[in-house]
Amino acid sequence: MTQLVAVKLLDPRAKMPTYGSADAAGADLYAVTDSTVTVAPGETVLVHTGLALAIPQGFVGLVYARSGLATKQGLAPANKVGVIDADYRGELMVALHNHGSESRTVEYGDRIAQLVITPYLTAQFVQQEHLDDTVRGEGGFGSTGSK
């Protein structure tokens, strides 16, 4: 399934999102920096992409970590998954957090995250005095077992 998403280049150096393979769900997002950005251990920095998106109504943009960047360098979105609502028209920026013990660098053109465009449902929340019973009930946080 293909969905058209309008992209505005806010910086002439910005790169359009790209898919790494024919079946990739996430499109790579690229850093737009004026110089090398150093991310110290435990630090979070906002990295520009130079892009603004017009995500269609009924869809959301989800910004995920790139697996190689996260596992090899410890850099991943600080909020774990960034949410880009359909009505947002500002610059897409990635809050990269360094989970590692060494400083890492980001340079212009580095792939810093991946963007997944997906449909969503809007819930209608209804207050109730009682909820239906289930086998699990109120069990949570490992209550179903560890293996």
Q: pLDDT at residue 138 above 90? A: no
Report the SS3 class of residue 68: helix
pLDDT, residue 91, reads 98
Please tell me the pTM assigned to this model: 0.90
**C-alpha span between 50 and 31 (Å, rounded):** 8
Instruction: Check pLDDT > 90 for residue 142.
Output: no
Position 145 scores a pLDDT of 72
Q: In what order do the strands lie in the sheet with 44-54?
A: 6-9, 44-54, 91-98, 75-77
Q: Model confidence over 104-122: pLDDT tens digits?
A: 999 999 999 999 999 999 9
Give the CA distances from residue 139 to residues 4, 18, 131, 132, 147, in Å, rounded to whole numbers and listed in that order: 42, 42, 14, 14, 16
Residue 62: the pLDDT is: 98
The per-residue pLDDT for 1 is 80
Q: What is the CA radius of gyration of the chain?
A: 19
Q: What is the CATH number of domain 25-119?
A: 2.70.40.10
DSSP 10-24: SSTT----EESSTT-
- Cα→Cα distances 110→32, 36, 51, 90, 135, Å: 8, 10, 15, 21, 48
Each residue's pLDDT tens digit, 76-114: 999 999 999 999 999 999 999 999 999 999 999 999 999
